Amino acid sequence: MAGIPIESWIIDLADLQQPRLIGGRCTACGEYYFPMRHHCAKAECLAPCEEVRLSTRGVLYTWTYVPNPRWGKAQVDKPYLVGQVDLPEGTRIQGILEGDPQKIEIGMQMRLATTPIEQKGEDTVVSYCFVPDEEGAAS
Ligand SMILES: [Zn+2]
């Protein structure tokens, strides 16, 4: 889905086929962060971080339903799903999940995608989400 990112420093949409999360990697110890940090959070390190594009696939650590309205909406369209996905870099990312709740299971492979947040004129503002990784599941 094309669109404009809800925050340009969080999501890279340059590749229309595959959005990327913008994270940081410590130049000294190699720790990864999301979102980007300017300096490592480890007290014994504190070295500068460099901007990186994080992996687009990971493993679902946990998930739940959220019955509250999304982003300032007054009404609940429908309950939505939120989960935490562990990327190969060791970073745990929290975000919206999309897909059939009956088929979502902890431990399954997930892929980064986008989800519409609001319409601004001609533009659809999008955030990131995770969807079941059909390709990963098949291989
Ligand atoms: Zn560090």
Half-sphere exposure of residue 6: CA atoms within 13 angstroms, side-chain side: 11
**Closest C-alpha to 90, from 39, 44, 14, 29:** 29
Model confidence over 22-36: pLDDT tens digits?
999 999 999 999 999
Q: Cβ of 102: how many Cβ atoms within 10 Å?
A: 6
Domain range annotation of the chain: 4-138
Q: Are strands 92-97 and 80-86 parallel, antiparallel or unpaired?
A: antiparallel
At residue 49, the 3 state secondary structure works out as strand
CA of 31 to the centre of ligand 1 (A): 6
CA of 53 to the centre of ligand 1 (A): 17
* Residue 54 confidence (pLDDT): 98
Q: What residue type is assigned to position 12 of the chain?
A: D
CA of 28 to the centre of ligand 1 (A): 5
CA of 90 to the centre of ligand 1 (A): 14
CA of 71 to the centre of ligand 1 (A): 33
CA of 55 to the centre of ligand 1 (A): 19
Q: Cβ of 116: how many Cβ atoms within 10 Å?
A: 12
CA of 23 to the centre of ligand 1 (A): 14
* pTM of the complete model: 0.88
What distances in angstroms separate CA 79 from CA 21, 67, 75, 88, 94, one per listed residue? 25, 4, 11, 29, 17
CA of 135 to the centre of ligand 1 (A): 34
Model confidence over 40-81: pLDDT tens digits?
999 999 999 999 999 999 999 999 998 877 766 666 667 889
Residue 97 has pLDDT above 60, yes or no: yes
> Are 117 and 89 in contact, with CB atoms under 8 Å apart?
no
Model confidence over 98-119: pLDDT tens digits?
999 999 999 999 999 999 888 8
